[in-house]
Every structure is written in C-alpha cells, then in structure tokens.
Structure 1
C-alpha cells in the first residue's frame, strides 16, 4: 500500500483497493469453509449411510477451489505473502532496486492482463452458450471464469499500484511503496 501522503490520489485508490481485497479474501475464506463442510458432509454420508454426495467433487473443483485461489491473490500480494527471492535485495542500490521492482510488476501486470483477457473471453463464450459440465449436476462453467476474471482484475490493479509506487520511489529516492519485511533466520522453535 502507498505510504506517502504526497502521492496524489493514490492513498484513496490504495484504500479502496484494500477494501476490495478484504472483501475478496473474505469470499475466499468462505469458500475454504464451504470446502471443509462439503467434504465433511460427503465423508459422513459415505461412511454412515453409504450415500455420498454425487456433486461434491465438481462443486469443489469447479467453483470453490477457483474462488480460494484467485480471490486471495491480490490480498496475498498486498501482504507480501507470495514467494520472493529477496535475500540480496538490500544489496542493490535503492533507486535501481525500485526501478527493477517497478519493471517486474509491469511485466506481472501484463501477464495478469493476458490471463484476465483470456478468462473474460471464455466467460463470454460460456455464458452465451450456456456451457455446463457433463455431470450429475450440470454446473454452469461461466461462474468459474467469472471468479478468475474478478480475482485477476483485482490483481492487475494491485500490480499497477506497485508499478506506480516503485517507479515513484526510483524517481524520488524516497520509499513510496511498502516493502516486504527483511528475511529472518528461522530459529529451531519456528521450524
């Protein structure tokens, strides 16, 4: 998130984006809870009355796992939860480090844009053709594509905020964007 008050308009944008991310991660958490409930119910019915849910695998695989993954992506980026190789980061000069990070996030924005565009194309086709999976419950496929589009679009917005923050940091020589905490050594109690 943008720290500096001099970044005109970006503070409000970052707050709105943060609120969106909190909402998306809340839906992701509900999807995790739903997965646990469906799996528990399915196993209970399977072993108690020998009548498992016939639709649980498709519901979980088509909708719930997609929601868990894609809707949590931008919030995970905001909190620096993605995998990063940052052991040498502090050795790179400040302006060059931010320039490289800005370029990296610009590339990430482009990749996420391609993912969003492709999922959007599939969403439109699946919706217009009323595509459904071939299963006991013919779940519509467009909902899964919608989840991908929403999560990826929010990720694009977060990446753009990072591009701006890192390039502004490189240009001004002041840290305008939150940086991940420095790596720490795990002690025996943390392993």
Structure 2
C-alpha cells in the first residue's frame, strides 16, 4: 500500500513539474520568436534606412538567448530530448542500468545545484548593486541571472525525480521511471 502511495505521489509531482516545464518552454518559445523579430527588424532598418537598432544585440545576448536556453532545459530533459548514448543501454541488466542512470543523474543534479547556487549569488549581488551593462541602453544584469536560476532550479527538480525513480527501479527490479524510447522508436532509421 505504501509503495502505491509513493508512486502516486511521484506521478503527481512529475505532472505538476511537467506543467511548470511546459510554461517555461512557452516563455522560451516566445523569447525565440522575439529574437527572430528583433533581428529581422534590425536588418530591415539597417539596410533600408541605414539606422539599425543599437540595442538589439545586447537584448538578445543578455536576456533572450539565456531565456531560450535555460528555460527549455527542464522540458527537454522531461521528454528525453538531450543527447544520450543509449546504443548499449538495453544490453545492461535492468538493476545495473538503473543504478548507473541514478548515479549519473545524481552527479548531474550536483552540477546543476552548483550552477543554481552560483547564479543565485550573482543574482543577489547584481540586484542589490543594481548592476547594468555598459552600453547605450544600460540593461540590468540581474534579470539574466534570474532566468538561469529559474530554469536550472526546475531542472534540478526533474533530475531529483529521475534520481529517485532510477534508484527505486534498481532496488525493486522493475522500471518505475520513464525511460527514453529505443533509438528505432525515436525516428532513427536502422542501418
């Protein structure tokens, strides 16, 4: 009874987290669209009336690219969209496979926690000291650090769920965590 309760709680947490990841992915998509619009407008103004947007590259580099990258990371992990070497995965015994995956996710979680911590420290400093870039438009830098903290924090939560799921799978001997589809099912043609 307790196992079912824990599994149901994990599924509920995963679904709630997936909703947050979809929202972050939507913001990432809006940032990507904004990049395309700003670049198009900048190029149009540059070549038609010789008056480019002086602030476009700062806006894109400081905020929009950071949003595109860091806010898309958690949803990409949730859908197994990151690069993975899984050609030999099915050859490894189930318990060992999950033990290795759980260990890998635990190490990845630690790296992401360090990124969240470092970006959080920079966010605090940049916000309190009102740090701005040295440009025609002095954009505040704390917003970029906030985007890193938010995206990386959600990624840490997804990684923690994977750590739990893989170690639980290794212990009980059956898969209780979502696994990526084999390469042939993911649209990769067989050779």
TM-score (norm 1): 0.94
Question: How far apart, CA to CA, are the structure 2 residues paired with 1:187 and 1:171?
Answer: 33
Structure 2, unmatched stretches of 5+, are: none
The residue correspondences of 1:88-167 to structure 2 (distance < 5 A) are: 88-167=88-167
1:7 match: secondary structure:
helix
1:97-145 CA-partner distances (Å, limit 9, x unpaired): 0011001100000000000000000000000000000000000000000
Equivalenced residue count is 185
The residue correspondences of 1:1-191 to structure 2 (distance < 5 A) are: 7-184=7-184, 185-186=188-189
Q: What is the root-mean-square deviation of aligned Cα atoms in Å?
A: 1.4
Higher relative contact order (CA 8 A, sep 6+): 1
Runs of 4+ that moved beyond 3 A: none
1:52 match: secondary structure:
coil
2:50 match: secondary structure:
coil
Structure 1, unmatched stretches of 5+, are: none
Shift of 1:183: 1.3
2:155 match: secondary structure:
helix
Question: How far apart, CA to CA, are the structure 2 residues paired with 1:110 and 1:116?
Answer: 10
1:177 match: secondary structure:
coil
Shift of 1:187: 6.4
Residues 42 and 52, structure 1, Cα contact 8 Å, conserved in 2: yes
Residues 5 and 11, structure 1, Cα contact 8 Å, conserved in 2: no
Question: How far apart, CA to CA, are the structure 2 residues paired with 1:134 and 1:6?
Answer: 51
TM-score (norm 2): 0.94
Question: How far apart, CA to CA, are the structure 1 residues paired with 2:33 and 2:190?
Answer: 32
